[in-house]
Structure 1
Amino acid sequence: MKITIIGGSGFVGTRLIDFLRASKEIDVLNIDKRDSTQFPEITQIGDVRDKVLLKSQLQGVDLVVLLAAEHRDDVAPVSLYYDVNVQGMKNTLEAMQAHNIKRIIFTSSVAIYGLDKDNPDESFPADPFNHYGKSKWQAELLLQEWHKLHPDWNINIIRPTVIFGEGNRGNVYNLLSQIATGRFMMIGKGNNSKSMSYIGNIVAFIHFLICEKKEGYNVYNYVDKPDFTTNDLVYHTGKILNKSIPTLHIPYILGMLGGYGFDVLAWLTRKKLKISSVRVKKFCAVTQYDSTKMRTSGFTPPYSIETGLRRMLEAEFMK
């Protein structure tokens, strides 16, 4: 089977390529706008916004895994979210159709549900609060319409919550780094649940979809259970690192005011800062999602969430 990963030079894509290449039955190609540091020999420079080039690169492919996305909180201009996440989806589908490729796995996001929702499952109505979530939902709508016109296609959509793991430099890494170095301040009470996904389980689930879900239109939330609260995350981090973690609690309203202050500073300096009102809001929000459908699909995650957390902390902070 020849599989092309679009956007495979980043964190998830690199781990996925490494996982898939262990199978002698899978031939992997990576298309990305930047080269891969670990797999340059199977990487072609491309861009989902360039349909002509994309069409030429998908010849002879059996299945496409679409990872490419604009996802940071501070992307500018905001039109990039829609150019890459929505138009990029349209370009990919049309390029696939040109070569009669009928299988696609798309990594969407639980961001389509919005913030502070009551444990939404896959049937929950979309209510995204930011441009990233809105553009991911619009990309899903394109897939819905496409499948109505192409019912013989196999379309699998994964909506993962925040992904963490060794080598990641996203929000979870920043949070764990602050906790591990004693520079952490708790905004709010810390009782808000935080659904998370370990990278080793995410790539294993994608492989499961490739091998086991070959028909129909399927949508899955991906969450590793149990959900931690922010207080739980601080506790487990301290226990794994064998550190006493002092926690200073900042009232939510003061945290948001501080976030707005950093928004103004970022605007004045034209610099991207690690703190913003959006990130404070996301930090304090309940981000808990139902993953019953994934857990009853026949897939067994190879790692517990505690093991995933330990592996990341040992790799990043116990060298």
Structure 2
Amino acid sequence: MSTCVIFGGAGFIGSHLARRLLATGRFDRVHLADLQGSELDGGDGVSASITDVRQGIPEDLVPEVPEWIFNFAAVHREPGHEAAEYFDTNLAGARNVARYAEAVGCPNIYFTSSIAVYGPTMGATDESAPVCPVSPYGGSKYPAELIHEHWQATRPGRRLITCRPGVIYGPGDPGNILRMIRAIKRGYFAYPGSPMVSKSYGYIEGLLDSIEFVMDRSEPLIRYNYVEHPTEPLGDLVRHVKAHMGSRAPVQIVTGGRGPIHPVRVKKAARPTHIVPRTLIDMGFDFRFDFASSLTDWQRQAPEDFN
């Protein structure tokens, strides 16, 4: 029986990946290991466990040797946590997942890092850019990458795929993009800075496409950025949302105190993120979605998100 284990499997990316893997039949069993239960638990081909990656992971988590481990478990929301929490979870989680893979003999790991490892990206930034994190989240993610890379390098035949995604959005996620959509719909959205600031985002279905794409390759180590290509200015994203929603609400360039938005998030929204997924481009990956088409697909899947 072919099995994979998804650490962080009850989260946004983990849940969507589980559904995709079950739909495509890539594995006979998908095991979701998370601190909380999953609505997918009990379905055909799905098992689940309450698992804390900060603690030792039992070798009998699943009866078979998993073909793949997906490590999405992380503390990532900014703001929302003390600095030490990012390191306590993200580094301990990386070590324990690598130890589990070592103990059970799993040959393949897919790990999600973050574009936060680059720090501020004033210009176009691809995988060749130096790592310079400025936040506790980014500062915890880069050494977590190195822990996984050590696991991969210590024995021939192991494969590691490290993805550095931008902000991922889509059906069921109440994050930045949905907040922007609802603010525009309600008429209180205001640019936190210039409408021309570059903002790189990744649609969940495109990310899943990339996961399957790189899994089917043969390189022992792949490190890649995931955002939709090309990156668009914030003003264009707003125009796409307004066109999709049929909104005529005015948009200003000052917050005016009208929206209940945390000041740290305002600063983050004003900061440019211009990420280039050069590795995928060079590999010939097909980016199926731009921002406008992702909104259409999102509403098709989850119209309730737009109500």
TM-score, normalized by length of structure 2?
Answer: 0.90
Q: Using the alignment, how far apart are the partners of 2:211 and 2:35 within structure 1?
A: 22
Q: CA deviation at 1:233?
A: 1.3
Per-residue deviation, 1:33: 0.8
Does 2:204 match 1:175?
A: no
**Which residue is equivalent to 1:19?**
20
**Which residue number in structure 2 is paired with residue 96 of structure 1?**
101
1:108 aligns with 2:113: yes
The answer for the alignment partner of 1:242 in structure 2 is: 246
State how far apart, in whole Å, the 2-side matches of 1:52 and 1:290 are: 35
Q: For the structure 1 residues 52 and 232, does the alpha-carbon distance in structure 2 shift closer, same or farther, using more than 3 Å as the test?
A: closer
**Cα shift at 1:40:** 4.5
Alignment gaps of 5+ in structure 2: none
Aligned equivalents of 2:296 and 2:275: distance in 1?
A: 22
In the TM superposition, 1:56-135 aligns within 5 A as 56-57=60-61, 59-135=64-140
Structure-to-structure mapping, 1:1-319, within 5 angstroms: 1-27=2-28, 28-41=30-43, 42-53=47-58, 55-57=59-61, 59-210=64-215, 212-250=216-254, 275-313=261-299, 315-316=303-304, 318-319=306-307
CA contact (8 A) 2:65 2:105 kept: no
1:188 Cα offset (Å): 1.8
Q: CA deviation at 1:298?
A: 3.6
1:261 maps to none
In 1, distance between residues paired with 2:53 and 2:305? Answer: 36
Cα distance in 2 for partners of 1:91, 1:289 equals 30
The 1:305–1:247 alpha-carbon spacing in structure 2 relative to 1, beyond 3 Å, is closer
- The residue identity in structure 2 corresponding to 1:305 is F
Give the number of equivalent residue pairs: 298
CA contact (8 A) 1:241 1:313 kept: no
1:56 maps to a residue whose letter is D
Question: What are the superposed Cα offsets for residues 129-175 of structure 1, whole Å, 9 maximum, x if unpaired?
Answer: 11111111110121233333334310001111111112111111112
Q: Which amino acid aligns with 2:212?
A: H
Please report how far the alpha carbon of residue 318 of structure 1 lies from its aligned counterpart in structure 2 after TM superposition: 4.8
Give the distance between the partners of 2:295 and 2:232, measured in 1 at CA: 11
In structure 1, runs of 5+ residues without a counterpart are 259-272
| Pair 241,75 (structure 1): closer, same or farther in 2 beyond 3 Å | closer
Give the 3 Å change call, closer, same or farther, for CA 40–214 of structure 1 in structure 2.
farther
**Cα distance change on mapping 1:276 and 1:216 into 2, 3 Å:** same
Give distance in 1, aligned partners of 2:24 and 2:241. Answer: 34
| Alignment partners' CA distance in 2, 1:39 and 1:239 | 38
| Distance apart, 1:310 and its partner CA | 2.6
Q: 1:303 to 1:76 in 2, by over 3 A?
A: closer
1:37 maps to amino acid:
E
Percent of matched pairs sharing the same residue:
31
Residues 225 and 305 in structure 1, CA contact (< 8 A), matched pair in contact too: no
Q: Does the 8 A contact of 1:190 with 1:284 survive in 2?
A: no
Q: Deviations over 1:164-214 (max 9, x none)?
A: 11211111111221112111122222210111111111112112222x124
Runs of 4+, deviation exceeding 6 Å = none
With over 3 angstroms needed to count, the CA separation of the structure-2 counterparts of 1:10 and 1:123, relative to structure 1, is same
> Could you say what the CA RMSD is over the residues aligned between the two structures, in angstroms?
2.1
